[in-house]
């Protein structure tokens, strides 16, 4: 049985991927997500990375009972909280129409990140 290992992107690669993804999602879902410009998208991706490293682990521990009760689905809410926190830190240049939109965008970002990581891990495996 072959195990799949997902590729770990560098900080700069992840920053670029998240910046482009945020801009694309703001274009697709303009009624729920607003990003004023490219620099704000870079700042949002940067703050999101910091929050994912520092705040998200604490939130995951605090939310563990709910995550267990919901069979992991509460983790999506935690991702939405992290995105919403990033929007609160940045201010008017990066905002969601509601918390529900933050959760929805977090779900879409998680799916897209999974697809991108999976694609590049397969490509790396094919080269070996």
pLDDT of the residue at 128: 55
Amino acid 63: pLDDT: 94
DSSP assignment string, the chain: -PPP-PPPPPHHHHHHHHHHHHHHHHHHTTTTEEE--HHHHHHHHHHHHHHHHHTHHHHHHHTHHHHHHTTTTHHHHHHHHHHHHHHHHH-TTEEESSHHHHHHHHHHHHHHHHHHHHHHHHHHHHH-
Average pLDDT per 10 consecutive residues for the chain, totaling 128 residues: 62 91 96 96 95 93 94 93 97 96 96 88 60
| pTM reported for the whole predicted model | 0.84
């Amino acid at each position: 049985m072959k195990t799949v290992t997902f590729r770990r992107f560098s900080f700069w690669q992840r920053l670029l991927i998240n910046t482009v993804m945020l801009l694309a999602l703001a274009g697709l879902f303009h009624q729920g997500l607003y990003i004023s410009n490219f620099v704000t998208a870079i700042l949002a991706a940067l703050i999101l990375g910091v929050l994912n490293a520092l705040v998200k682990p604490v939130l995951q521990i605090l939310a563990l009972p709910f995550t267990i009760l919901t069979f992991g689905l509460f983790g999506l809410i935690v991702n939405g909280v992290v995105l919403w926190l990033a929007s609160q830190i940045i201010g008017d240049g990066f905002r969601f129409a509601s918390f529900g939109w933050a959760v929805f965008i977090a779900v879409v970002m998680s799916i897209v990140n999974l697809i991108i990581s999976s694609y590049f891990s397969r490509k790396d495996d094919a080269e070996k």
